[in-house]
């Protein structure tokens, strides 16, 4: 049987997951599907330590030792950050290897350039694992939606944040406890700041923007808010309104250019992403032909990433020639304007329930500024909180209490209701 020779750059959650799937859990299936034996011949590690690896695999911290291995067919790149990954990928492409990457920061920054570089050399650079973990999202866009014009893409693109928000809400745990679990489960980045600040979702969104529009918005103009300020009471109050908080990334093209935002947003039970819970990611794609599609699945973790990377290898084996850059249809999201956010949930810490009444009295004097849709007052862990769903300009009213505010997706929201739930 013919053999393909593989090296791994990086041996953290991603690299070790690929290793296990290729050599253990899915070896037989993989070989049957591609009709070749897959051998891992070298692994670039960050630090030397005791590892249970076979003696014939070169395990080293020195890239030159990996580069000097003969006849490498595939490089699985799972390093963090732009350099040295960028230089390594170019070196391996120069040597005639196909590259399969999971490096979001690199691909958001230099993906288009590296894709050109690979194409010029007739080699593949694929990166399904870099966006939405195990969900076959990129290939769906690249290969299966070529005539469909993409109008809007909205999604949950960070597994760690979704895991934290779901777990906090379901188990009434603190942000820190849930983040720690996400780290232990191998969902979070080595530096989880990237997950909780929305930066990881932003990189994925920029990769999608390059694929859909062959362009990206000005990074400075993208509103990016993470989940690090979310408190348990925000989620409990949201639940009182029938809403769940999700870190939503939205991408669309308007007159002014490509518009992208990443921010915690409440969604109602009618919203397609409401039931995307835990480490799952979910992506809603609206197109002008098929209509609305939704993809959902594990967005992080060793197996999810390994699945995406190994399926990339299979695809390359079967496809043989890389696809040339194709014209992609995308349209201005003109009819989407009315769907843009103008509804918010405002959350107030209160000393007493009476304070809520005086707050409401101030708002009632300014009903030309805001329209209250629904309100909830709740005691959570011995403290009282009030919240209301509103549309309008609350910020133009001077209120005696500091409050937090989140956008609410208007999709499926039952408007015009106004009730008080007290518990």
Residues labelled as active-site residues: 204
Give Cα 221 distance to the centre of its chain: 19
Distance of closest approach, residue 376 Cβ to ligand HSE, in angstroms = 30
Which residues, including other chains, have CB under 8 Å from residue 262's CB and lie 6 or more apart?
157, 198, 201, 202, 205, 222, 223, 224, 225, 226, 247, 248, 249, 250
Q: Work out whether 195 is an interface residue with ligand HSE (CB under 6 A).
A: yes
Site for ligand HSE in 322-351 (CB under 6 A): none
Choice between 133 and 217, CB closer to ligand HSE? 133
DSSP one-letter code for 378? E
Choice between 245 and 347, CB closer to ligand HSE? 245
Q: Work out whether 136 is an interface residue with ligand HSE (CB under 6 A).
A: no
Q: How far apart are CA 264 and CA 248, in angstroms?
A: 6
Q: Scanning the structure block, which residue is given the tokens 């909780």?
A: 196
Q: How far apart are CA 405 and CA 186, in angstroms?
A: 31
The shares of helix, strand and coil residues in the chain, as percent rounded to the nearest 5, are 35, 25, 35
Q: Work out which of 30, 245, 284, 300 binds ligand HSE, going by CB under 6 A.
A: 300
Q: Which secondary-structure segment (H or E) carries 27?
A: helix 27-34
Q: Work out which of 115, 160, 265, 330 binds ligand HSE, going by CB under 6 A.
A: 160
Q: Work out which of 127, 175, 187, 385 binds ligand HSE, going by CB under 6 A.
A: 187
Contacts with ligand HSE, 197-226, as mask; x by CB under 6 A: ---x--------------------------
Q: Work out whether 77 is an interface residue with ligand HSE (CB under 6 A).
A: no
Angle (CA) 314-51-311 rounded to 5° is 10
Distance of closest approach, residue 42 Cβ to ligand HSE, in angstroms = 24
Q: Work out whether 311 is an interface residue with ligand HSE (CB under 6 A).
A: no
Distance of closest approach, residue 180 Cβ to ligand HSE, in angstroms = 14
Choice between 73 and 189, CB closer to ligand HSE? 189
Q: Work out whether 133 is an interface residue with ligand HSE (CB under 6 A).
A: yes
Q: How many CA atoms lie within 13 A of 281 on its CB side?
A: 30
Q: What's the N-to-C CA distance of the chain in angstroms?
A: 68
Q: Work out whether 299 is an interface residue with ligand HSE (CB under 6 A).
A: yes
**Residues making contact with ligand HSE (CB under 6 A):** 133, 158-160, 187-189, 195, 200, 299-300
């Amino acid at each position: 049987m013919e053999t393909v020779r593989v090296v791994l750059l990086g041996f953290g959650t991603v690299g070790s997951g690929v290793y296990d799937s290729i050599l253990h859990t899915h070896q037989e299936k993989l070989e049957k599907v591609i009709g070749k034996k897959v051998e891992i011949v070298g692994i670039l590690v960050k630090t030397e330590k005791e590892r249970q690896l076979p003696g014939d695999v070169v395990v080293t911290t020195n890239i030159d030792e990996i580069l000097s291995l003969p006849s490498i067919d595939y490089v699985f790149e799972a390093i963090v950050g732009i350099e040295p990954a960028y230089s390594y990928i170019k070196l391996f492409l120069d040597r005639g290897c196909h590259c399969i990457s999971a490096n979001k920061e690199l691909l958001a920054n230099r993906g288009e350039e590296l894709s050109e570089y690979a194409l010029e050399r007739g080699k593949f650079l694929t990166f399904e694992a870099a966006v939405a973990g195990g969900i076959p999202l990129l290939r769906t866009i690249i290969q299966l939606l070529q005539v469909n014009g993409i109008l809007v893409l909205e999604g949950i693109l960070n597994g760690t944040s979704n895991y934290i928000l779901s777990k906090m809400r379901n188990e009434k745990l603190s942000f820190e406890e849930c983040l720690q679990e996400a780290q232990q489960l191998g969902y979070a980045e080595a530096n989880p700041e990237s997950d909780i600040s929305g930066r990881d979702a932003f990189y994925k969104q920029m990769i999608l923007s390059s694929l859909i529009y062959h362009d990206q918005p000005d990074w400075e103009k993208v509103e990016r808010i993470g989940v690090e300020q979310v408190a348990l009471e925000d989620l409990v109050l949201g639940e009182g309104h029938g809403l769940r908080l999700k870190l939503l990334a939205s991408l669309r093209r308007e007159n002014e250019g490509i518009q992208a935002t990443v921010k915690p947003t409440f969604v109602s039970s009618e919203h397609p992403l409401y039931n995307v819970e835990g480490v799952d990611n979910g992506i809603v794609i609206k197109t002008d032909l098929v209509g609305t599609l939704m993809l959902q699945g594990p967005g992080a973790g060793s197996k999810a990433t390994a699945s995406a990377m190994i399926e990339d290898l299979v695809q390359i084996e079967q496809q043989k020639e890389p696809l040339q850059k194709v014209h992609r249809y995308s349209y201005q999201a003109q009819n989407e304007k009315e769907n843009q956010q103008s509804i918010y949930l405002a959350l107030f810490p209160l000393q007493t329930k009476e304070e809520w009444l005086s707050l409401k009295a101030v708002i009632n004097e300014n009903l030309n500024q805001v329209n209250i849709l629904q309100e909830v007052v709740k005691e959570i862990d011995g403290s009282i909180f009030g919240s209301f769903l509103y549309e309008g300009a609350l910020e133009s009213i001077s209120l005696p209490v500091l409050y937090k505010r989140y956008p609410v997706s208007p999709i499926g929201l039952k408007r015009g209701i106004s009730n008080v739930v007290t518990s």
